[in-house]
Amino acid sequence: MFKVIAPMVIVRSEGDVVYRSEGQMVDGLTSEDAERLVRRGMIVPVDGPAPTPAEPEAEPVETPAAPAVVSGGIEKPKKTHSLAMWQAYALTQGLSAEDVGDATKADLIELVG
């Protein structure tokens, strides 16, 4: 008896083709099929070592690029850019440092966006 640790295994069990998904049990395999599937990491014997699931790779997170500097000023940031970028842009648009420091990102977008 074997436990499936691959997402899906299609095998011949006791003469029939069977589909088994991760976590299901399968038996009746030929010794050649069992050895091959164990070697490929698709099944494990139920009395064998517990399988260690592979950790999924983290997807890279794309961060917005900084706005380009245009003739001494800063290009208008996108709405998804950080508060700090909106603050820098607002300063180039004539708002005071005090006003910029007290404003939220939504306020800055409304004022200078």
pLDDT at 3 (0 to 100): 92
pLDDT at 64 (0 to 100): 61
In a domain, 54, yes or no: no
In a domain, 28, yes or no: yes
How many structural domains compose the chain?
2
In a domain, 60, yes or no: no
Tell me, what amino acid is at 96? Answer: S
Tell me, what amino acid is at 45? Answer: P
Contact at 8 Å (CB) between 43 and 2? yes
pLDDT per residue over 2-50, tens digit each?
Answer: 999 998 888 888 878 888 889 999 888 888 888 999 999 999 998 755 4
Clarify whether residues 38 and 73 are in a common domain: no
Q: Is the pTM of this model over 0.85?
A: no
In a domain, 99, yes or no: yes
Confidence class for position 106, pLDDT limits 50, 70, 90: very high
* Region 45-61 average pLDDT: 63
Clarify whether residues 39 and 74 are in a common domain: no
In a domain, 51, yes or no: no
In a domain, 16, yes or no: yes
Tell me, what amino acid is at 94? Answer: G
Query: Could you tell me the residue range of the domain that residue 20 belongs to?
Result: 2-45
- Residue 1: burial class (beta carbons within 10 Å; 0-12, 13-18, 19+): exposed
* Region 62-86 average pLDDT: 71
